[in-house]
Structures are given as structure tokens and as C-alpha cells.
Amino acid sequence: MYGCNWDDLYDITFNFQNGLHQSRVCQTLIAFDIETSNGWRQSDGSVLGFNHLRYKNDEKYRKAIDEGEPVSCLYVWQVAIEDGQDIKVFMGRDWEDFEGFMHKLTLEIRRQSIYGQSSVDRYAEAYYAQKTKNNVSMRVYVHNLGFEFQHLRNVYEDKFASKGRGRKKRGGNVFARQSRKPMKASFNLNKVKCEFRDSLVLVQKSLSAWCKDEKLPVQKLEEPKDYYLEMRTPLTELTDEEIHYSENDVVSMIWGLKKYRDKYTTINNIPLTQTGEVRRTCREKVAKTNKAWAKLCHDITVSYTPEEFKRLVWLFQGGWTHANKMYVGDKLTDIKCFDFASSYPAVMCTRTMPLGQFVECDPSEFPDLEAQDVNTAKFRWYMKIELDGVCSKLDNSYWSLSKVAFDEDHPISGQVVDNGRIYCCSHMVAYMTDLDWDTFKQCYDFKDYKVVSIYKSLAGYLPKEMVETILDYFQYKTSLKGMDGSESLYTESKQFINSVYGVFVTKIITAIISFDANGWESNEPDDKTFMEMLHETKEEDSFTVYQAGVWVTAWARHNLFDFIIALDERIAYCDTDSIKGLFTDEDIKFVEDYNKKIEDLENQVAQILGIDPAKYTATTSNGKVKRLGVMERESDAEFFKTLGSKRYVYQSDGEIHCTIAGLPKRAGKAKIKSVDDFKDGLIWDTQESEKLIAKYNDNQNPCIWIDRDGNAYESEAKYGICLQPTTFDLSISNEFSHFLNLLKGGMLDRNDEFYTDMPGWFFK
């Protein structure tokens, strides 16, 4: 036995507050975590561990791993429980231990909820049957619940899979927005509701980052390299260092959760997710203050038909991330870098959105709608459009191949693709917002087009209450950064600024994720269920509409392309709200002029909404004034190289910075010591990549584990997740490589005869 003696539970005073429906909610913080071994079961039932060197050099061993059954084995679990100013840690080695502990814990919580710390016989179980009308619940936090949940199924599968009643039928005892990623899961034990909650979706950062950012008194310990490859079982004698590592994971969580409970007064009020915090703030500061706005948002939301909502979801596009094809693979020097200051919040505070119900128009209205100035338009609109003979005018291709029409059998033909974006095509069908169309016309030549359908809504600014709330948090974030004693408020303001956009673009209706006796299931709601779910929204909680979020991202892309269209051939790379390029003094003057226009725009909107214009600026702790939404100069790069979207490296002030999607930054920096090392075809082996692939197993076969000490342990756990090391390949895709070869061969030159004669292309 590790950690505290389980009888120490009786020394803890569990605190309670009343919840809904005469329930008693335990206010004592509890955190749970497990550690598992990873292995690959062979045909004889033995489990093979992973060795980087053997996997790299021994073909027979590599085949045994690749063809083996990925399995995992619990070897220790730990529960931290708050005890006044102290924190007690309880540990066990297998699932039988855990069931025994949970039985003991829930009995004591049930007893104290009724009798407090009085000396009622703890070993007589009759007491918890009394006062059965008083429901009791306890909350257990887990950082990345999806991992623990898969393993908890080994003992509580039937309890989690309970169907529930009423609204709960959609999700039962498990709530998730994605399969295998529960945000909370519960079951009843000894008449206590045990609710496991994911602290990762609450804080949106790793446990290590959470501890560091909040300067918690107990920090997560850094795991030794390849810590998860060691073969341990419940029979393995753990070292003091391993026990300390496991304990710190749950103890640090308790310290972090204390801050949340202090902030929200009770555990009951801690939101499920980080965006839940933002929603709560917006409900308080916006919906409850401006009830006419809340009613408008609700009325628009419940007016959506399933077809219209599908169109709006399709219209949504995230950030525009792309490398200029002319520079891919080249080592560039003297690169100047710029970032928008809080791009998404900025457009929410300065631009108009569609704030009425969309109505379908006759396509003949298109010329009048198109003729509006996008900045001052009376209507925001979108359309379905067919285009023929399309070709990019820019080096930076604009339209994403993934955003051709979803309701067409053949939405595009004759296309040449530039790293996921359309360089040219003979025919395409797409849905576009008015802002997308304004940009598209400047980015592409096309032979012909036809507006198939068009929809319009009255345009308007977000309400003063929303804009001022965003501006307040922008000022907090800017002024509090780096100030001692203000870490929590700075974190809160930073999370608000980073998450308010996420709240606006969250789909109000999503696939119904359920967990039952058959495991995970995902189903799109039918029309009847769709309407039922829409009408479950409450007017008093409404502070935004989904369509506004669609236009937030459209405006951000439109702003970015103000720069791309003007500076195209000198832009090397763009990433949602930033640009890097070979900019001249004239280009820098263009940025300065743009920023002056943003200042004028903000002053104008401030006057319209009755807001103090000074709120659009904030002063840092060292006295520097920052303005929302302007393009800010970042540190220049002496050298820069990109191999495509989310794949670039640069040197700034002599230091190498790597951004490689899918690869930990630490692994990138360890292998790439200079920009010259960043090459097409570069491979990280399993040890270098530091990447682990989670392989779920819902039907593990019984297997024999041999631990590091030679002890044999038979595991019959049915459910597991094996974390398998993997390689990483930086190679450019075949499709993109082919495109670049055509480009370098002059075959994509608009004046080239080969280009104009290509089948299906219609320009000369």
C-alpha cells in the first residue's frame, strides 16, 4: 500500500452545501489519476515492451510490435482529497483496490452528509439507508478524463452505460461532444452520485502548464524520457521517485482547483469548460443587462431550419494558414514579421454582423447587394455560386478545396491544388459570405459565374455591453501581464480574450454523442430532434447567434487579405492573424496606414455605440500603449524557411523557432539546430519525435506481463489505451510536390501554351 492508510479517510471532514432538489453536494476537492504500462500482446499471450533501438534496427522485433495487439495495464492509481489546509493522497495498485476504496469513500461521504463527523458506527452500513430523500453527490476531477474513462470501463462499464431518463436519454450518464472524449461521467455508488469531471476542458492547458502559469505551490514533476515505456504492473515495486511523481499529479490539481472554487464560491458553480466561464460572464454582463438583445438572439436561433443551419455551418471557415508557393523550400533572409493584436476580438468590436433572420432573395438582387460597400453595408449576405474557368491571380491561393459546396455531387472539376487551396479549376460550386466574395474577386480570374441562391440579413454591430466586456478584458490582459500577484486575473482575462471567439463559433446543435452498453455512438439529430434541441435554448441565457460567429472569421480573413492582396509577392507565410515576408519600407508604410485606418474605425464605432474610444487601447506594465486590432511588428527573423501550412522554422536573435504541426516543439528544436536542417524528407525516429499515438482497445485479450523485475502478472482488463511511439515525416505530400514541380517547370505560367491547352481549362 502506498500513500495514506485508507482509514485516514475517517479523519477528513467533508464539507457540504445544498444543491438542487434538496441534494447535498460535497465541497471537498477530490482529484484522480492513474498510471499505466503500454505493451503489444503476442499470439502466445505474452506482452512485448517497446524499445526504440530494437524497433529501429531489428526488423523481426519491429514486425512483432506492428502486428501485435496494443494493450495497457494499470499499475497504480492515486486519489488526492483536500483535508482543510492539508491534502491526503490515497493510492492502490489494481482495479479491485480502487473499487474497495470507492466503496469506503462513498460510504463515508454518505455518512458525513447525514451525521457530520459524529461517532456513528462507520462499519454498520444501515445508516446510509436513512434519509434517502436527501441525494448526495461528490465531484472527482481528472485531467484528461478520456484516458481514465477508457480504463474505468473495466470496473464501472455497466454503471456508466445506464441510459438515463428524459433529456438524459441523449447522453445517459456520460456527456461528451466527441466520441471517446467525455467531459463528465457519473454513476451512483452507495446512494452517492460520483461525478468525474475533466479539468483539462476547464483550464485548456496541460497539467504542467497549469501549474507553471498559476505558480501553484506544488508543481507537476517532469517525467523522465520514455517514462511510459517502462514495464510496470501491480506487482512492481515502485521507487520513491515514481511514487512522488504520481502523487504530485493529483496534489497539484487540488491546488489549482482551489483557485476555481475560491473564484466561484462553491464547487457547484465551477463551470464544466473554459468556454463555460466565458458564457457565464457574457450572460451576466450582456444577456441580463440587455434583454432586448437576448430576445433577438433567441428569436434568430429558434428560427433556424436544419437546412439553413447546415448552410451556416458550411459557410464557417477557420483561420487562413498558408505558405507562398514561390518560397516553399527556400531559405529566406531578413524576414519581417507582423501580428494582428487579438484579431477575432477586434472584429467583434468594430465590424457589423448579420443580426436578423436570413431571408432568401431572388438571384436578381445580387448586383444591388454586391454593389454595397462591405464596410458600411446595410445587409450581410451569402450565396451559393457556380464558377467556370477559375485561376488564382496571386501567389497566395485563397479558396480552400475543402470549402466547395457540400450539397453537390460534383462541386469541382479540373482542379490544380496548391497545398489544400484551389490554384485553378475548370468548374466549382461554393457557398460564400459577402466578405468571401469580395476577396475572391480580387484573388481569382474566372470566365463565368452564376448565382444559384442568395440570402440576406440586416447588418448591425454587436451590442455595447458585449463590446465593452471584450474591451475590458483586453485591457486587463494587456496591463496585468507579468505583474506579480495578478496571475489569476491575468489568466482569466487572457482566457476570456482567447475563448470569446470560440463561444461565438460553437455549433449550437452538434452530433448526439452517447455511451451505452454498446459503447460510443455518434448520430446526427433528425429534424424533429434538431428543433427540440433548438427550443431548449433559453432566452435569458442568449447573448449571441451562430451566424455572427461565422462572420467574425470572415472579417478576420478579409482583414488579412487586405495585406495579402497588396503585398502578395513579398509575403512568405501567413498564419490566421500573422504575416511574415520580405517587406520593403513602402510595405511597412502600408502597415502604418492600415493601423491608422483601424484607429479611425474604432473611434467611429465607439461614437456609434457610445463607448469611450480610449477603451480600444491598453497600457502594458512597462508603459507601452497597445491598440486592439492593429498589425504589430514582431521580432524580425534573420532566416526563415517553410515547407507548407503549419510547417516553418526561423531564426530570430540567433535562436531557432520551430512550428511543425503534429510534432512537439521540443522534438523539433532538438533536431533542427539551424534553418538549413529543415528539409523536405527529414525524419524523426520513434525516440526523436517524442510522439505517442493513443491506440484504443475495446476488447483486450487476457495477457501476461513480465515487469522490469521479472515478475509475471496476468491481466484480464478488457479496455485499455496503448500509447505507442511513432516516427514523424516532414516530407512534402506527393500532391503538393507535383504542384511545385509544375510551377518550377513553368507549366503553370499563365502565358504558357501548355497551361492554356490543359483539358477542362477555359482561359486564353
> What digits encode the pLDDT tens for the residues 295-310?
999 999 999 999 999 9
Phi, psi of 427 (to 5 degrees): -155, 140
Q: Which three cell numbers stand for residue 501?
A: 471567439
Q: Is 345 left (phi over 0), alpha (psi -120 to 50) or beta?
A: alpha
Q: Is 52 helix (H, G, I), strand (E, B) or coil?
A: helix
Residue 750 is predicted with a pLDDT of 52
Contact of 264 with 270, CB cutoff 8 Å = yes
756 confidence band (pLDDT: 50, 70, 90): very low
Burial state string for 623-637 with b = 16 or more CB within 10 A and e = fewer than 16:
eeebbbbbbeeeeeb
**CA-closest candidate to residue 741, choices 328, 294, 250, 191:** 328
Q: What is the mean pLDDT of the chain?
A: 91
**pLDDT of 762 over the 50 cut:** no
Work out the average pLDDT over 74-95: 97
Q: Is 18 helix (H, G, I), strand (E, B) or coil?
A: strand
β-pairing verdict for 448-460 and 379-392: antiparallel
Work out the average pLDDT over 742-749: 76
Grid cell 515495486 is found at: 237
Residue 3 is predicted with a pLDDT of 77
Contact of 377 with 554, CB cutoff 8 Å = no
Q: Give Cα 604 to chain centroid, integer Å.
A: 34
Q: Which residues contact 744 (CB under 8 A, 6 or more apart)?
A: none
**CA-closest candidate to residue 89, choices 137, 156, 29, 152:** 29
Per-residue CA distances from 334 to 127, 576, 595, 649, 658 (Å) = 76, 22, 23, 14, 17
677 confidence band (pLDDT: 50, 70, 90): very high
**pLDDT of 717 over the 50 cut:** yes
CA distance 355 to 350: 14
In the chain, pLDDT over 70 holds for what percent of residues?
A: 93
Dihedral (Cα; 172, 175, 179, 182), 10-degree rounding: -130
CA distance 233 to 225: 19
Work out the average pLDDT over 661-688: 95
Q: Specify the pTM.
A: 0.91
What is the 3 state secondary structure string of 559-619? HHHHHHHHHHHHEEEEECCEEEECCCHHHHHHHHHHHHHHHHHHHHHHHHHCCCHHHHEEE
- Residue 704 parent element (H or E): strand 703-706
727 confidence band (pLDDT: 50, 70, 90): very high
DSSP β-bridge partners for residue 197: 141, 184
- Stretch among 445-449, 457-461, 536-540, 579-583 having the lowest mean pLDDT: 536-540
Work out the average pLDDT over 484-503: 81
Per-residue CA distances from 611 to 287, 450, 461, 516 (Å) = 18, 43, 13, 51
Q: What is the pLDDT of residues 339-396, one digit of tens each?
A: 998 999 999 999 999 999 999 999 999 999 999 999 999 999 999 999 999 999 999 9
Per-residue CA distances from 679 to 194, 643, 652 (Å) = 51, 8, 19
> What is the per-residue DSSP string for 88-153?
EEEEESSHHHHHHHHHHHHHHHHHHHHHTTS---TT-GGGGGTTTTS-EEEEEEETTHHHHHHHHH
> What is the per-residue DSSP string for 320-367?
-EEE-TTTTT--EEEEEEEEESSHHHHHHTTS-EE-S--EEE-GGGHH
Burial state string for 61-76 with b = 16 or more CB within 10 A and e = fewer than 16:
beebbeebbbbbbbbb
Q: What is the pLDDT of residues 100-127, one digit of tens each?
A: 999 999 999 998 988 887 766 666 655 5
> What is the per-residue DSSP string for 212-278?
HHTT-SS-PPPPPTTGGGS---TTSPPPHHHHHHHHHHHHHHHHHHHHHHHHHSSGGGS-SSHHHHH
Q: Give Cα 650 to chain centroid, integer Å.
A: 25
Q: Which three cell numbers stand for residue 681?
A: 524528407
325 confidence band (pLDDT: 50, 70, 90): very high
Q: Which three cell numbers stand for residue 41?
A: 500482446
Residue 308 is predicted with a pLDDT of 96
> What is the per-residue DSSP string for 404-464?
S-TT-SS-EES-EEETTEEEEEEEEEEEEEHHHHHHHHHHEE-SEEEEEEEEEEEEEPPPH
Say if residue 111 is exposed, middle or buried (CB neighbours under 10 Å; 0-12, 13-18, 19+).
Answer: buried
Residue 763 is predicted with a pLDDT of 34
CA distance 685 to 143: 29
Q: What is the pLDDT of residues 441-461, one digit of tens each?
A: 999 999 999 999 999 999 999
- Stretch among 150-154, 413-417, 478-482 having the lowest mean pLDDT: 478-482
Helices 464-480 and 274-282, packing angle to 10 deg: 130
**CA-closest candidate to residue 380, choices 346, 349, 348, 355:** 355
Q: Which three cell numbers stand for residue 411?
A: 462541386
**CA-closest candidate to residue 607, choices 354, 350, 372:** 350
**pLDDT of 11 over the 80 cut:** yes
Q: Which three cell numbers stand for residue 734?
A: 506527393
Residue 134 is predicted with a pLDDT of 65
CA distance 158 to 174: 12
Domain limits, the chain: 6-271
Burial state string for 151-177 with b = 16 or more CB within 10 A and e = fewer than 16:
bbbbbbeebbbbeeeeeeebbbbbbbb
Q: What is the pLDDT of residues 188-245, one digit of tens each?
A: 999 999 999 999 999 999 999 999 988 899 999 988 888 999 999 999 999 999 999 9
Residue 346 is predicted with a pLDDT of 96
Residue 172 is predicted with a pLDDT of 66
Asked: is 6-271 a CATH 3.40.50.300 domain? The reply is no
168 confidence band (pLDDT: 50, 70, 90): very low
DSSP β-bridge partners for residue 11: none
489 confidence band (pLDDT: 50, 70, 90): confident
CA distance 444 to 422: 10
- Tell me 13's DSSP state: -
**CA-closest candidate to residue 456, choices 369, 384, 374, 373:** 369
Helices 527-534 and 306-315, packing angle to 10 deg: 80
